[in-house]
Amino acid sequence: MKINLIISVFVILAVSACATHHMDAVTILHIEGRVLDQVSNFPLEDVIVYFIDTGYDDILSIKQKPVKVTRSNSRGKVAARFNYWWGRKTSAFDAGPKATFDIVLSREDYVEKRLQFKQSELQTDSVTFFVNLEDVYLVRKDE
| Residues 47-85: tens digit of each pLDDT | 999 999 999 998 899 999 999 999 999 999 999 999 999
What percentage of the chain carries pLDDT values higher than 70? 87
What single letter denotes the amino acid at residue 140?
R
Provide DSSP, 14-26: HHHHHH-EEEEEE
For the chain, give every domain's residue range.
23-138
CATH superfamily membership of 23-138: Immunoglobulins (2.60.40.10)
Per-residue confidence (pLDDT) for residue 101, from 0 to 100: 97
| Residues 79-101: tens digit of each pLDDT | 999 999 999 888 777 677 889 99
For residue 82, count CB atoms less than 10 angstroms from its CB and return exposed for 0-12, middle for 13-18, buried for 19 or more.
buried
Cα–Cα dist 93/76, whole Å: 45
